[in-house]
């Protein structure tokens, strides 16, 4: 089946069997390997991508279901050389160790801050409760997202009335 | 961990979907969010010849207040329920329950109706439907059937639906007056299926229980309605004694099994504890409602 | 990414990680991200039975399926003498089953196809005829007379017993017990759990017939050792084997062993002549790869009436699965378990250990265990808290009373360890202070009066890491030294390569910092590489918290070697005698004339352009470090829990962790390691479990059954530190990666036992699930 979708702002097409999972389409067909596979029971969230800005498990979506939709993967967070506030937050607060869960965590954080620019620790922990991390114990991931929240606030304060240039959800 | 091959159709009109199901019903599975079906496909526990994706059908994702009930369309996702102002005011127990469903990522894709049709005995929504006394609207080429929640769940992953039918909406009755509910769930961690879940929805009239619905999750071959407990509560003032007895009856009606989550005796006792707590909370909320 | 400052990134600075860039951008290079031209995909067929004869393997249907290039069976592997391979414990393990299958999930056959979807489809078409045999699922069953013989493939194996091992002194211990006023016994099971790194194991084997070179990408924590093992097993010449460990998504010991999948993929690539990729799925990872623990332990602690510890006696039965494949120093059959006297001055101890075969996956040494220190620490810390309860003493007080004191170091333990340094009372006091212990105890008493169920758990662990001195520590004979090769380029930048392999521990940053400290080159200018056996110096890899103690020491030593050479070059450049030069802040200067100086960068340039006559050019070196001793990190952890009377659910209200790992090179990275370990300990204490039914079916073979804590359950951690340097380590650093997984499970469980002790409960084995707590409460007549 031909499938056509927007990934990180670009139209991408492929020809896949209906059974092909979105995560495999991204990794194998589009060679976007930043989205990872960590389990086989939709339990770990390593495969998280954004569909229309909302985080979902791409291992539990068929590529054909995503036809016509707008997908954001981790590769779509940075704007050229400029890391997004969430990416900066993860770096500044040591929010990653092995990095395998990180794309998913950052996408959830990105989506959360769009809806809730000033989340509490509990709200962050709740938002990432579908994403497993084995390395960090979550403490610094929470700090990273809070750090990003502050960066976004600061950027808004610097440019009132203008869309914060550093808020990147990738593409249109 | 990849599905076996299957054919795939994504109809864009309801009549098209119904025609496909009429033709292929026995070999087909309907898919909305896919959060229950795709995991089964990946483990190859389910191997339908055809997957009918109803995700492209129009006008099925609305939450509408309508003549004594709230209508929830087949494509309404759990997250849509979580953010629904309508449900927050007319059926707040659903908001409490939805936060227990799976995890935030699954809630962005999975649907209430899909969950109910999947009929996992450990599924939370089934108990909520039983507690509310919801109606399930099923369409086929032959017409429309309105099925009551009570009797809809017939066994593990088995409902009263025919293979040529698709559910287009679920209707949650809205009670005027002093009503309140609660959903309690014991899960080992976020994303785990319930060890035990309890849904309570009741109405008070003149300080007495006018109606009570109690649904039980993961303690039987399907979501259970604690009918005896409900009958016991009816017409009574909800004193502590009454609550304790109702909880005992509900626990007695449950049919849990020993498994990794705990012994049957444990689960029965948690049913008892949760029904007690749930009733107290529901009564408190019902009393708070300004008429 | 780090700012370019003069000597920026010295020891003790929490500089941001240099390796973050690629991970933040989704450009990490994990095993499954690697694609080679012509690459094929392999899927492994595994046994559904725990114990069965293999009557036949029919591959006809599978071979005919779309995209299938080859189907590999045990028979085919046997023809190439590869159906069996050695384990890291001098046993043998089946690569693909020939006669029998001995655990559920054991490898039986493999399909190689063009795509992974095709490989899985074809795998499901292989038909195997099994004759099911009764399964052995515990050491108790394994030792019963008439128990099925699991290893009938081994000529001299008459039963299921693998090893007997002892440490300490039986006679003096017996005498001490005879004189004891109190003996506290604890029988406890540390259940099977699994490291479950988020990335599963896998490899890409590329045996190139044209060049004779075999390149194997592998999720391996120890690439050099694996290369040597491969050379011995496959007969491929070692100079033509290149093992590349790319970015690894978590290891925790799961990625140390050689797995059959690696060997089959290599054989397949050799036979087919194309690269073969094998990546296991999560179920395969949980059901067949290196699990952890599974120790049945009985500990007796002898005390006098004042609570002074007199002796410790321990017996343990180890469940080793179907093949003895513990990844541990070869002289120790039960790992370093005999550290079990822990932080306490116990004059005499006797340990006996017996290992058994069962019909389960092989393994045992994994999951941040420091070679079985997790088991030992758990036992002693549970015993001590139980002793306190029995004696009516406070558990912190009983510990204080028996701690080895600072003046006793170096301390010779009753089982032969020489602890390098420690200050246990200090760490305990910091923890109690942070906790507000006295007020907390009053609060606990007040809440209990109101009928609440609440408790405090304490654990004061001593770890032993940094394996290790070659004469005592080897894996398959390979001595456990480690290495660092440092090259300083003409423009003053450097490249550091080591024999270790990070799986997220931040080596690219931490080890650069050692070079900054010793040689003055800013950390941002030091590239750190690991994992490619063609380029990295030989080492034994990263596990058991050994990288900082061993490779970190090697890094310091090689940097010092280069500094010595730099001094000579500086002397030449400054026309001053070497002894007249001072080294400070990355430069040599003439004593008394600080403006007559040469920076390390200037010296590096000179090493290639203006070298003294007779001296070798360049500024490069390598050091292989043989540690004189282990290092002994330690700490005190304390946990406060509340228990729901109705459901038995346990909530951790507070978790205080005070760690002492000696000098902290990058405190931010150290704390991250501790957070992670405390979370794994939390999971182990409350929810993680691999168990088996009577037929040997594995329960816990996916993430719906094997439960990992999310951010929602995981408590908030309060960290503290003390610093007691290691006297023998060049930097005073001790290693910390596993401390929190070693020390925390007992702290969590002790808190629950403390909470339930008013009701007479003295033990609940892990995982402490709500149903077990409920059972204990109801058994004591407590109800909601």
CATH number of domain containing B98: 3.30.465.10
Q: How far apart are CA C391 and CA C408, in angstroms?
A: 26
Residues B198 and B258 both lie in one domain:
yes
Mean pLDDT of C515-534: 98
C537 pLDDT more than 60: yes
**Cα angle vertex C11, ends C661, C573, to 5°?**
145
Could you give the residue range(s) of every CATH 3.10.20.30 domain in chain A? 2-76
**Cα angle vertex C689, ends C687, C693, to 5°?**
135
Mean pLDDT of C300-327: 97
Q: Dihedral through CA C199, CA C200, CA C201, CA C204, nearest 10?
A: -70
Mean pLDDT of C237-243: 97
Q: What is the pLDDT of residues A44-74, one digit of tens each?
A: 999 999 999 999 999 999 999 999 999 999 9
Mean pLDDT of B208-232: 98
* CA-CA-CA-CA torsion sign (C269, C272, C274, C278): negative
Whole-number Cα distances in Å, C649 to C681, C769, C775: 17, 7, 11
Quote the mean pLDDT of chain C: 97
B175 sits in the region (left: phi over 0; alpha: psi -120 to 50; else beta) called: beta
Domain annotation covers residue B211:
yes
pLDDT value, residue C726:
98
Q: Is B183 exposed, middle or buried (0-12, 13-18, 19+ CB in 10 A)?
A: buried
C-alpha neighbours within 13 Å on the C-beta side of residue C202: 27
Among C449, C444, C440, C409, CA closest to C426: C409
pLDDT value, residue A161:
61
Question: Can you read off the two tokens belonging to residue B43?
Answer: 């483990």
- Band the pLDDT of A163: cuts 50, 70, 90: low
- Band the pLDDT of B25: cuts 50, 70, 90: confident
Q: Test B189 with C775 for CB contact under 8 angstroms.
A: no
Check if C620 is active-site.
Answer: no
Q: How many domains does chain B have?
A: 3
Mean pLDDT of C207-226: 96
Instruction: Quote ipTM for the complex.
Output: 0.97
**Please, which residues bridge with residue B172 across strands?**
B70
pLDDT value, residue B176:
79
For chain B, the residues whose C-beta falls within 8 A of a C-beta of chain C are: 1-2, 4-5, 44, 103, 186, 188-193, 195, 260-263, 266, 269-270, 273-274, 276-277
pLDDT value, residue B291:
60
- Band the pLDDT of B175: cuts 50, 70, 90: confident
CATH number of the domain that residue B25 is part of: 3.30.43.10
Give helix then strand counts, H and E, for chain B.
11, 14
Q: What is the pLDDT of residues C574-631, one digit of tens each?
A: 999 999 999 998 999 999 999 999 999 999 999 999 999 999 999 999 999 999 999 9
Q: Test B186 with C770 for CB contact under 8 angstroms.
A: yes
- Band the pLDDT of C233: cuts 50, 70, 90: confident
Q: Find which of C774, C775, C779, C782 to mutate to test the B interface (most B CBs within 10 Å of its CB).
A: C774
Q: How far apart are CA C171 and CA A148, in angstroms?
A: 63
pLDDT value, residue C137:
98
In the set C17, C368, C497, C664, the catalytic residue is C368
**Inter-chain CB pairs, A–C, below 8 Å:** 176
Query: Which range among B273-282, C3-12, C326-335, C627-636 shows the weakest confidence by mean pLDDT?
Result: C3-12
DSSP assignments along B234-290, one per residue? TTS---HHHHHHHHHHHHHH-----BTTB-HHHHHHHHHHHHHHHHHHHHHHHHH--
- The distance from CA C678 to its chain's CA centroid, rounded to whole angstroms, is 14
Share of chain C above pLDDT 70, in %: 99
Quote the mean pLDDT of chain A: 94
Q: How many CB atoms lie within 10 A of CB A73?
A: 24
Residues of C with CB below 8 A from A139's CB? 675, 716-717
Mean pLDDT of C415-434: 98
Q: Test C710 with A129 for CB contact under 8 angstroms.
A: yes
Q: What is the pLDDT of residues A119-130, one digit of tens each?
A: 999 999 999 999
C198 touches chain A (CB under 8 A): yes
pLDDT value, residue C7:
83
C190 pLDDT more than 60: yes
Q: Test A60 with B2 for CB contact under 8 angstroms.
A: no
pLDDT value, residue B72:
98
Residues of A with CB below 8 A from C124's CB? none
The residue out of B125, B151, B173 marking a domain boundary is: B173
Residue spans of alpha helices (H) in C450-552: 507-519
pLDDT value, residue B289:
85
C62 pLDDT more than 70: yes
**Domain A2-76 top-level CATH class:** alpha beta
B136 pLDDT more than 90: yes
Domain annotation covers residue B264:
yes
- E strand map for C194-240: 202-207, 214-218
Tell me whether strands C52-58 and C100-101 are parallel, antiparallel or unpaired: antiparallel
Q: How many CB atoms lie within 10 A of CB A11?
A: 8
The residue out of B120, B155, B173 marking a domain boundary is: B173
Cβ atoms of A112 and A141 within 8 Å: the answer is: no
Q: How many CB atoms lie within 10 A of CB A162?
A: 9
B253 pLDDT more than 90: yes
Domain annotation covers residue B91:
yes
Q: What is the pLDDT of residues A148-162, one digit of tens each?
A: 999 999 998 887 765
DSSP assignments along C74-88, one per residue? HHHHHHTT-SEEE-T
**Domain A85-167 top-level CATH class:** mainly alpha
CATH number of the domain that residue B209 is part of: 3.30.390.50
Residues B156 and B76 both lie in one domain:
yes
Residues B143 and B209 both lie in one domain:
no
pLDDT value, residue A172:
33
Structural domain for B146, as ranges? 63-173
Q: How far apart are CA B34 and CA A60, in angstroms?
A: 7
Tell me whether strands C291-303 and C363-364 are parallel, antiparallel or unpaired: parallel
Check if C203 is active-site.
Answer: no
pLDDT value, residue A162:
54
Residues B115 and B168 both lie in one domain:
yes
> Do you find a cis peptide bond into C410, omega within 30 degrees of 0?
yes
- Band the pLDDT of C75: cuts 50, 70, 90: very high
> Do you find a cis peptide bond into C189, omega within 30 degrees of 0?
no
Among B112, B1, A12, CA closest to C282: B1
C530 pLDDT more than 70: yes
Q: What is the pLDDT of residues B84-100, one digit of tens each?
A: 999 999 999 999 999 99
pLDDT value, residue A167:
47
The neighbours of chain C, by the rule of 3 or more Cβ pairs under 8 Å, are A, B
pLDDT value, residue C5:
53
Domain annotation covers residue B57:
no
Could you give the residue range(s) of every CATH 1.10.150.120 domain in chain A? 85-167
* CA-CA-CA-CA torsion sign (B34, B37, B40, B42): negative
Residues B161 and B114 both lie in one domain:
yes
Mean pLDDT of C314-343: 97
C252 touches chain A (CB under 8 A): yes
Q: Test C774 with B266 for CB contact under 8 angstroms.
A: yes
Residues of B with CB below 8 A from C65's CB? none
Whole-number Cα distances in Å, A39 to B237, C45, C388: 51, 18, 43
Q: Test C775 with B260 for CB contact under 8 angstroms.
A: no
Q: What is the pLDDT of residues C440-472, one digit of tens each?
A: 999 999 999 999 999 999 999 999 999 999 999
Distance from CA of A156 to the nearest CA of B (A): 26
Residues B29 and B78 both lie in one domain:
no
C1 pLDDT more than 50: no
pTM: 0.97
Q: What is the pLDDT of residues B144-153, one digit of tens each?
A: 999 999 999 9
Cβ atoms of C685 and C655 within 8 Å: the answer is: no
Residues B164 and B187 both lie in one domain:
no
Q: What is the pLDDT of residues A87-117, one digit of tens each?
A: 999 999 999 999 999 999 999 999 999 999 9
The residue out of B131, B157, B173 marking a domain boundary is: B173
Domain annotation covers residue B1:
no
Phi and psi at residue C692, in whole multiples of 5°?
-135, 145
Check if C368 is active-site.
Answer: yes
Residues B123 and B165 both lie in one domain:
yes
């Amino acid at each position: 089946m031909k499938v056509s979708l927007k990934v990180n702002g670009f139209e991408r097409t492929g020809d896949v069997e209906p059974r092909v999972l979105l995560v495999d389409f991204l990794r194998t067909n589009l060679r976007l390997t930043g989205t990872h596979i960590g389990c086989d029971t939709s339990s770990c969230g390593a495969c998280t991508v954004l569909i229309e800005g909302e985080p979902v498990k791409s291992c539990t979506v068929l590529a054909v279901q995503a036809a016509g939709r707008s997908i954001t993967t981790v590769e779509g967070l940075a704007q050229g050389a400029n890391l997004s506030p969430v990416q900066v937050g993860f770096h500044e607060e040591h929010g990653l160790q092995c990095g395998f869960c990180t794309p998913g965590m950052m996408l959830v954080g990105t989506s959360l801050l769009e809806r809730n620019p000033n989340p509490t620790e509990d709200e962050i922990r709740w938002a990432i409760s579908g994403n497993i991390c084995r390395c960090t114990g979550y403490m610094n991931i929470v700090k990273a997202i809070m750090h990003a929240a502050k960066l976004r606030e600061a950027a808004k304060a610097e440019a009132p009335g203008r869309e914060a240039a550093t808020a990147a959800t990738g593409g249109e | 961990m990849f599905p076996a091959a299957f054919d795939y159709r994504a109809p864009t009109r309801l009549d098209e979907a119904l025609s496909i199901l009429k033709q292929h019903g026995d070999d087909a599975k309907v898919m909305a969010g896919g959060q229950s079906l795709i995991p089964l496909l990946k483990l190859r526990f389910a191997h339908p010849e055809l997957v009918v994706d109803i995700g492209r059908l129009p006008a099925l994702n609305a939450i509408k207040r309508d003549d004594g009930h709230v209508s929830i369309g087949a494509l309404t996702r759990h997250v849509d329920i979580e953010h629904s102002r309508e449900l927050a005011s007319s059926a707040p127990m659903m908001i409490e329950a939805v936060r227990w469903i799976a995890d935030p990522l699954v809630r962005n894709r999975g649907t209430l109706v899909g969950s109910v049709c999947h009929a996992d005995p450990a599924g939370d929504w089934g108990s909520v439907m039983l507690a509310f006394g919801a109606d399930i609207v099923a369409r086929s080429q032959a017409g429309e059937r309105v099925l009551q929640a009570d009797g809809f769940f017939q066994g593990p992953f088995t409902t009263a639906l025919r293979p040529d039918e698709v559910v287009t909406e679920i209707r949650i009755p809205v009670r005027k007056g002093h009503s309140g509910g609660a959903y309690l769930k014991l899960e080992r961690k976020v994303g785990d299926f319930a060890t035990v879940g309890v849904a309570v929805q009741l109405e008070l009239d003149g300080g007495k229980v006018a109606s009570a619905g109690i649904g039980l999750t993961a303690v039987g071959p399907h979501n259970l309605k604690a009918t005896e407990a409900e009958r016991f509560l009816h017409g009574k003032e909800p004193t502590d004694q009454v609550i304790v007895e109702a909880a005992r009856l509900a626990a007695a009606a449950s049919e849990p099994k020993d498994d990794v989550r705990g012994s049957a005796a444990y689960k029965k006792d948690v049913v008892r504890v949760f029904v007690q707590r749930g009733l107290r909370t529901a009564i408190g909320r019902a009393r708070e409602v300004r008429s | 990414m780090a700012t370019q400052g003069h000597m920026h990134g010295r020891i003790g600075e929490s500089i941001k990680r240099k390796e973050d860039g690629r991970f933040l951008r989704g450009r990490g290079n994990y095993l499954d991200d690697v694609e080679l031209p012509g690459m094929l995909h392999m899927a492994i067929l595994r046994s559904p039975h725990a114990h069965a004869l293999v009557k036949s393997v029919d591959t006809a249907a599978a071979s005919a399926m779309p995209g299938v290039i080859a189907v590999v069976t045990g028979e085919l592997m046997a023809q190439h003498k590869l159906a069996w391979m050695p384990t890291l414990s001098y046993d043998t393990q089946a690569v693909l089953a020939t006669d029998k299958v001995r655990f559920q999930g054991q490898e039986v056959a493999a399909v190689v196809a063009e795509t992974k979807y095709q490989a899985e489809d074809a795998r499901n078409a292989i038909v195997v005829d099994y004759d099911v045999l009764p399964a052995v699922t515990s050491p108790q069953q394994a030792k019963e007379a008439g128990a099925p013989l699991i290893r009938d493939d081994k000529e001299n194996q008459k039963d299921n017993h693998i090893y007997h091992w002892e440490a300490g002194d039986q006679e003096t211990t017996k005498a001490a017990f005879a004189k004891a006023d109190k003996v506290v016994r604890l029988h406890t099971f540390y259940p099977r759990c699994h490291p479950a790194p988020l990335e599963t194991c896998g490899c890409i084997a590329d045996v190139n017939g044209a060049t004779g070179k075999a390149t194997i990408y592998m999720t391996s924590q120890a690439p050099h050792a694996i290369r040597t093992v491969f050379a011995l097993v496959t007969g491929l010449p070692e100079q033509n084997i290149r093992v590349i460990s790319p970015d690894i998504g978590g290891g925790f010991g799961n990625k140390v062993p050689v797995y059959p999948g690696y060997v089959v993929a290599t054989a397949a690539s050799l036979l087919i002549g194309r690269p073969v990729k094998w990546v296991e799925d999560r179920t395969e990872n949980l059901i067949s790869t290196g699990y952890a623990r599974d120790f049945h332990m009985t500990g007796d602690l002898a005390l006098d009436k004042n609570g002074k510890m007199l002796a410790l006696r321990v017996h343990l039965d180890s469940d080793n699965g179907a093949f003895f494949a513990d990844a541990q120093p070869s002289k120790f059959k039960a790992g370093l378990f005999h550290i079990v006297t822990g932080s306490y001055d116990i004059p005499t101890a006797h340990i006996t250990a017996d290992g058994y075969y069962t019909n389960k996956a092989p393994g045992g040494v994994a999951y941040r265990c420091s070679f079985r220190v997790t088991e030992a620490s758990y036992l002693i810390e549970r015993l001590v808290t139980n002793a306190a309860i029995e004696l009516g003493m406070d558990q912190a007080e009983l510990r204080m009373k028996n701690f080895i004191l600072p003046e006793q170091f170096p301390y010779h333990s009753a089982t032969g360890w020489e602890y390098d340094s420690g200050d246990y009372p200090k760490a305990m006091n910091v923890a109690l202070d942070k906790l507000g212990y006295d007020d907390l105890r009053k609060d606990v008493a007040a809440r209990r009066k109101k009928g609440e169920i609440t408790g405090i758990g304490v654990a004061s662990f001593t770890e032993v890491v940094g394996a290790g001195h070659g004469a005592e520590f080897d894996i398959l004979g390979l001595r456990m030294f480690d290495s660092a090769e440092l090259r300083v380029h003409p423009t003053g930048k450097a490249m550091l390569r080591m024999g270790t392999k990070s799986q997220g521990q931040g080596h690219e940053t931490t080890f650069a910092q050692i070079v900054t400290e010793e040689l003055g080159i800013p950390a941002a200018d030091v590239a750190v590489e690991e994992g490619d056996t063609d380029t990295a110096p030989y080492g034994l890899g990263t596990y058991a918290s050994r990288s900082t103690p061993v490779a970190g020491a090697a890094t310091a030593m090689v940097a010092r070697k280069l500094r010595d050479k730099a001094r000579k070059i500086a002397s030449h450049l400054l026309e001053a005698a070497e002894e007249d030069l001072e080294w400070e802040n990355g430069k040599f200067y003439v004593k008394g004339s600080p403006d007559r100086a040469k920076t390390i960068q200037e010296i590096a340039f000179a090493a290639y352009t203006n070298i003294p006559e007779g001296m070798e050019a360049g500024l490069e070196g390598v050091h292989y470090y043989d540690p004189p001793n282990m290092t002994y990190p330690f700490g005190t952890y304390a946990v406060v829990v509340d228990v729901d009377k109705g459901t038995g659910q346990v909530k951790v209200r507070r978790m205080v962790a005070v760690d002492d790992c000696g000098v902290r090179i990058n405190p931010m990275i150290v704390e991250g390691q501790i957070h992670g370990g405390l979370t794994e300990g939390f999971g182990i204490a409350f929810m993680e479990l691999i168990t088996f039914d009577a037929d040997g079916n594995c329960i816990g073979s996916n993430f719906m059954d094997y439960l990992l804590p999310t951010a929602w359950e995981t408590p908030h951690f309060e960290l503290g530190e003390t610093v007691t340097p290691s006297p023998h380590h060049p930097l005073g650093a001790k290693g910390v990666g596993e401390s929190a997984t070693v020390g925390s499970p007992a702290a969590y469980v002790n808190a629950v036992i403390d909470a339930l002790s008013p009701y007479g409960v003295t033990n609940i084995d892990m995982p402490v699930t709500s149903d077990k707590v409920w059972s204990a409460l109801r058994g004591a007549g407590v109800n909601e």
